[in-house]
Chains A and B, each alone.
Chain A
Amino acid sequence: MDKQAEFVLRTIEERDIRFVRLWFTDVLGTLKSVAIAPAELEGAFAEGIGFDGSAIEGFARVYESDMLAKPDPATFALLPSRSEGPGVARMFCDILMPDGAPSYADPRYVLKRTLTRAADLGFTFYTHPEVEFYLFKQAPEPGQAPVPIDQYGYFDNAANGIAHDFRRQAITTLESMGVSVEFSHHEGGPGQQEIDLRYADALTTADNLMAFRLVVQQVALEQGLYASFMPKPFTDHPGSGMHTHLSLFEGDRNAFFEPGAPYQLSKVARSFIAGVLRHAPEITAVTNQWVNSYKRLTGGAEAPAWICWGHNNRSALIRVPMYKPAKGNSTRIEFRSLDSACNPYLSFALLLSAGLKGIEEGYEFPPGAEDDVWALTEAERHAMGMKPLPLSLSQAISAMERSELVAETLGEHVFDFFLRNKRAEWLDYRRQVTQWELDRYLPTL
């Protein structure tokens, strides 16, 4: 047993922890949890805890259902408790096959494999997400329009203070779990909030995002509210995205930074961008995985529906933020299509993989877009060779199906499951008669 595991066992003893929640994530990005008593933890570290994989979305078919969850002691954190009672702690798990080999169904393993590939090239991958979500007055009821907690907008300091209290509580809770928060404010939509996590290596960030979604929803419930990461809950208000800043480091050095280069972007950064842009259509089914995601992407305003990059251009898919002198190590690019309801492990793995591909193959860096892409005409965009992101989940699935990059990154099991699941979602959606159709056609046809 390594030192970290011993540290965990010791802390559990010293802090009088009565339950340890073992967390892992299914293929669609839903957090799963199994609670065990501390006495079982040592065994879990050694061999993992057995569970029925067929009950988890995308993990296994019935006949290969025995799987093991093995906690990663490096992710140990105490969960804040409401009272002074005995504490609860959590750890993220790696999913293993019964013989102890890593399971290709585990999204965490997908990301780990890709990070290993990057490490083989000498890179560490850092991400910094800005998570948007809506706060509603109550939990959703079928047929009822959702009611946001306020009518304020971007950066408003809300007078009724509900949002403010909420953010304070959520951030305190996150910090107590070791998830560092950088920034938070009211977003553009009524009741819409944004909380930015501090940048960290991609695996930690993905773990943190899983914890983040849980904390936000729990704090909301505690305060009698309801939080949702649905990408586009209102037709007329902005959707909830998760703009994410990406950077590669070689040791302590930011590999994206090169003094004197255009925008101070190194060759590595430029090829990385080229890679992400070239493969953007293929990975969109994962970065924007729901039918509803595409309502946000095609909704105009700040949504990045076209595949291009811009220097400080908020309508481009990739934005290169203004360079701050003497801050070479903060050089990064912002990928803007991700939404808050994605599976962060798979999404980060694909973004990294696309970027690495650009680096390995030395993709040509395309010229940047300086204009607001939404304001251009169709013909102008065409002339500039600017292609749209997939317009619907269906288009995204088609693009992904043909992608060797996505298949290799996700592994065949996840690739296959994901496509099957998304095709089914699309088929189900396609047969729906929507309120919009009823409102528009029933009176006239």
Chain B
Amino acid sequence: MSQSPTPGSLARAGLVDSEMAAHLLQTPVLGDLLASDDGEFLQDVAGAPDPDQALRLLVRVLQACSVEEAHRISSVLATDSDTRRRMLHVLGMSQALGEFLVRHPNNWQVLSDAEGLCSAPVAAQVHDALIRAVGADPLHSEPVATHPQAADQLRIAYRSHLLGIAARDLSGMAVMDTIASWLSDLADAVLAAALAIARSELGPQASSCRLAIIGMGKCGGRELNYVSDVDVIFVAEPTEGVEETGALKTATALAAAVMRICTSTTAEGTIWEVDANLRPEGRQGALVRTLRSHIGYYQRWAKTWEFQALLKARWCAGDADLGREYVDAIAPFVWSAAGEPGFVDEVQAMRRRVEDHVPVKLGDRELKLGPGGLRDVEFAVQLLQLVHGRSDVLLRSSNTMIALESLATWGYVGRNDAAALAEAYRFLRTLEHRIQLFRLRRTHTMPEAEDELRRLGRSLGYRADPVGELHSQWRQHAREVRRIHEKLFYRPLLQAVARLDPGEARLTREAARERLHALGYVDPAGALRHLEALSSGVSRRAAIQRTLLPVMLGWFAEGPDPDSGLLGFRRVSDELGSTHWYLRLLRDESAAAQRMARIMSSTRYATELLLNAPESVSLLSDEQDLLPRTLEQLTAEAMAAADRHEDMELAVAAVRALRRRELFRTAAARVLASVEGQSHESVLAWSPGPALTDIARATLKGALAAVTAAVSAEWGKPLPMRMAVIGLGRFGGLELGFGSDVDVLFVYEPLWDADDPEATRAAFEVANRLRGTLMAPSIDPPLDLDADLRPEGKSGALVRSLNSYARYYQQWSSPWEAQAMLRASAVAGDVDLGTRFERMIDEFRYPDGGVSDADVTEMRRLKARMEAERLPRGADPTLHTKLGRGGLSDVEWVVQLMQMQYGYRIGDLRTTNTLQTLNAAKAHELITAADAAELQRAWLLATSVRDANMLVRARANDMVPTDVRDLAAVGYVLGYAQGQSGRILDDYRRITRRARTVFERLFYGWTSPE
């Protein structure tokens, strides 16, 4: 005997509990083995997935044998290194199979049968062996079991064969697909033997029917796991001359017995569940039907998913002729349903299931359902079969791996994608197999315990850091599945339109259209044309597009309007295709490409801005670039742009281009806020108002400088006046929306030595040209300055001096005009003049002592009349964002009334911004926090809806849309999920109704009658 190893050397060999191992090695039964050992025994123990477990179980197996038998095993193990390793691998992996050997040690021979184990198990031999195990004659066409403990014998024989398969598996003899097919063969044999037992239970009467067992699901696809439910369907016919009802009764008894024999737990444990729920009518339906009844059912009632299940149907036990008849009879039906209406809906529902990631509870540990799990691969393959298998019979395999291969062979899936997907699938399935082997339990959850992970990792050959490597491999494969999966549907679409290497298969145009339609494109033919234009040719550009488009197509399909997304992308690409950075940006920075896809499939406004200035795409690469820029930055850039050009037109064009870029930046940020994982609440809370106001101000400043310079140049001298632009309405309130009017007043002041009429002329000239040039048609969006709120409205003078304004408000002003002035703030031009204007109107807008009761009444009446008259005819008042119930006007009038009443004594109220004023009023306890919150919520929501309207349609609209498509698109921008159009309306109406209640109480002074 060699020297007995020390705990230290055992620990180095990889045994965790080295004390225990050292102790075990002292066990007498190991004596022979260690005596003749040349040191390799311990090496092989150390090589087992779990060396401690392997050693422990080996000792128990040997102890369970008779002395002679133990000697025999020891000597074989000592000399036959293959058998030794197989034994230690199986014991080190599967506690359940080890326990089996402890109970039935003589089955160890399975592992020693070197020749048998080196070749694949032959299905027919497995079948015969199991039939014989229950004491039946495999040569008989309807074998009947004779063994008194047939069910126990079946279990023992089953496990013995399972042991053989596991040994081959763990010694790396075959890939996962093959292992799975052996497991399916074994399942067939088990079912056949169970049927033999069932016949013996039933007696001679059993022969009154012919019963065939059809395998479905993974069993049907010959891709079974070590432990999973075996899905079957039973079909039966009366034996000739037997009446049908009685025969069916017998068949049902046989079928029920088969299920029970496999499922029930005896002294030898259980085998697996037999699940017959895929039969016609499921749980409610008859367990056994005749062939005719099956056909009748499928002719009349079956639905697409049932045919899809039937795709996997395969005879696996019982009457072979009947089984084949069944499979032949069913085959024509399988694909007939695919042409029916509703088919596309079902495909789309499946796609959503495939693509949406429902985070499952065990998410992190799920092999099957988690992101990048087995289900992803299986669903993807089935979905593609469903879409294309109708017209292409070559795709109709029941086996996932084979189907994937034929999808690749015929061009429905990219070759490399298929190969990578197959590899990942094999890895994940192998992992699943190994997890199940441990206890022979049906599970597809990664274990948590360190020792279990270690065993798993080592069984896959990771030695240095089994747990870490296992996790990183798993993650990598899951990521790979996700990555390919995202493109799987889309990539071949390109091949349909691209010129390929001769001989390579490709998707036909018809198939491509089918697929695009299934993915949600309304005009597949148009989409294909765009794809063709983008990707054909041999240029580098087309090559990049071909890698880019598959992903982009998927992202477009996630937005409310995939077709527009693709069209927009084509137009931008046509424009920028040859620019050196464009495609590189999209290819290298997938975040930029994804943002672009989201923007283009949801907002026409931003898309149009982008089409006129495609270079703005570059903003999308960095999140930082989506943050609004400060007024100072914008102003500096606008002034510099104005300064650079002597020609006014060019100068203003430069300023307007700046504006366009900034509008795109803001629009993009708004849309992306809702889709990049932000909560619905935070989407609403982020308001683009300040950013949009800053953009308008910088634009005005730059343009004003350019126009002033131009007029001054024409006059040949400095202009004899100073000028300021005053913002009113949302502009003055620093809360512009995408579709807001830009309300302004122009005020000037003659220089001290100037001639007044000349100053007036200069001011008018500047103001007039400023408006003209900012509105002039160009590729940039016009900035429409609206000066209608000036004294005397449209018929009044466009410009007035500061004194003239002061005189006017002193003499003529109505409460209504004073109210409009609440939001007046200087936005551009001479700062000192602007400030003096603001100070001048303070006495009107914040009248000393507050407003008179008569004026309050006047305001209330005016508001009441507006509610009745200003609302467009037929408009639903609950859905009008501006004038409707609880809309913007309600909130703003409450706030403005408080400003007029208390502004003279509470400085904080003297702001032009609605929400800021509301907060000040709350701080000064003019309004309760609860009321303020209701008003603010409604105001933000109404504002967001108006912004979303503009973004979606590129057209201002004050109504919450009622057209379902528009509503869904607006919902998308607001952060609602799909299928919630009813909820958007309900939310809008509820929030504004509450604001209205607050408004009525605070503005009209209504009190509830309680």
Contacts and interface: CB of A to CB of B under 8 A. Distances in A.
> Which of B341, B963, B980, B981 gathers most chain A CB within 10 Å?
B981
Interface string A89-115: 000000001111111100000000000
B416 interface: no
Interface string A373-389: 00000000000000000
B503 interface: no
A292 interface: no
Contacts of B985: 104, 412-413
A100 B281 contact: no
A111 to B, nearest CB: 15
A325 to B, nearest CB: 39
Contacts of B965: 99
A413 B989 contact: yes
A411 B986 contact: yes
A412 B989 CA distance: 6
B880 to A, nearest CB: 13
A411 B968 CA distance: 19
A122 interface: no
Interface in B960-1010: 962-965, 968, 979-983, 985-986, 988-990, 993-994, 997, 1008-1010
B878 A412 contact: yes
A1 interface: yes
Contact of A416 (B878, B962, B968, B981): B878
Given A10-B301, A99-B964, A407-B993, A3 B282 contact: yes
B876 interface: yes
A9 B301 CA distance: 8
A290 B159 CA distance: 75
A103 B980 CA distance: 10
Nearest to A10: B301
A121 interface: no
Contacts of A103: 982
A64 B986 contact: no
Contacts of A63: 874, 962
A221 interface: no
Contacts of B997: 402
Contact of B990 (A1, A99, A407): A407
B794 interface: no
B15 to A, nearest CB: 51
B981 to A, nearest CB: 5
Contacts of B341: 43, 46
B303 interface: yes
A398 interface: yes
A63 B876 CA distance: 10
Contacts of A104: 982-983, 985-986
Given A6-B301, A413-B985, A100 B979 contact: yes
Given A407-B993, A412-B878, A412-B993, A97 B982 contact: yes
B624 interface: no
B688 to A, nearest CB: 27
A322 to B, nearest CB: 37
Contacts of B989: 412-413, 416
Contacts, number: 67
B3 interface: no
A177 to B, nearest CB: 23
B982 A1 contact: no
Given A3-B281, A402-B1008, A412-B986, A46 B962 contact: no
Contact of A408 (B300, B981, B990): B990
B964 A98 contact: yes
A430 interface: no
Contacts of A64: 962-963
B338 to A, nearest CB: 15
B345 interface: yes
A61 interface: yes
Contacts of A101: 979-983
Contact of A10 (B300, B988, B993, B1008): B300
Contacts of A415: 993
A1 B303 contact: yes
Contacts of B1009: 398
A16 to B, nearest CB: 15
A282 B956 CA distance: 39
B438 to A, nearest CB: 36
Interface in A181-231: none
A104 B986 CA distance: 7
Contacts of B1010: 402
A46 B303 CA distance: 12
Contacts of B979: 99-101
A96 to B, nearest CB: 9
Contacts of A413: 985-986, 989
Nearest to A402: B1008
A1 B985 CA distance: 29
A104 B990 CA distance: 12
Given A46-B342, A408-B990, A412-B985, A97 B964 contact: yes
Contacts of B986: 104, 411-413
A135 B905 CA distance: 72
Interface in B262-306: 281-282, 284, 300-301, 303
Residue of B282, B962, B968, B997 ringed by the most chain A CB atoms within 10 A: B962
Interface string A392-417: 00000010001010011001110110
Nearest to B979: A101
B933 to A, nearest CB: 14
Contacts of B301: 6, 9-10
Contacts of A404: 994
A337 to B, nearest CB: 21
A98 B990 CA distance: 22
Given A3-B284, A402-B1008, A46 B982 contact: no
Nearest to A63: B962
B981 A99 contact: yes
A398 B988 CA distance: 23
Interface string B860-888: 00000000000000101010000000000
A411 B878 CA distance: 13
A50 to B, nearest CB: 13
A62 to B, nearest CB: 8
A101 B965 CA distance: 12
A104 B997 CA distance: 22
Nearest to B877: A416
A110 B881 CA distance: 26
* Residue of A6, A402, A408 with most partner-chain B CB within 10 A: A6
Interface in B898-948: none
Contacts of B980: 101
Interface in B619-634: none
Nearest to A13: B300
Contacts of B300: 10, 13
Contacts of A6: 281, 301, 303
Contacts of A47: 342
Contacts of A97: 964, 981-982
Nearest to B959: A63
A223 B455 CA distance: 82
A1 B1009 CA distance: 53
Contacts of A408: 990
Contacts of A3: 281-282, 284
Given A99-B979, A412-B878, A46 B345 contact: yes
Given A63-B874, A63-B962, A97-B982, 10 more contacts: A6-B281, A6-B303, A13-B300, A43-B341, A104-B986, A408-B990, A411-B986, A413-B986, A413-B989, A416-B989
29 contacts: A6-B301, A6-B303, A9-B301, A10-B301, A13-B300, A61-B876, A61-B962, A63-B874, A97-B964, A97-B981, A97-B982, A98-B964, A99-B964, A99-B968, A99-B981, A100-B979, A101-B981, A101-B982, A101-B983, A104-B985, A104-B986, A402-B1010, A407-B990, A407-B993, A412-B986, A412-B989, A412-B993, A413-B985, A413-B989
Q: Can you list the 3 inter-chain pairs with the closest CB atoms, starting with the nearest?
A: A412-B989, A64-B962, A99-B964
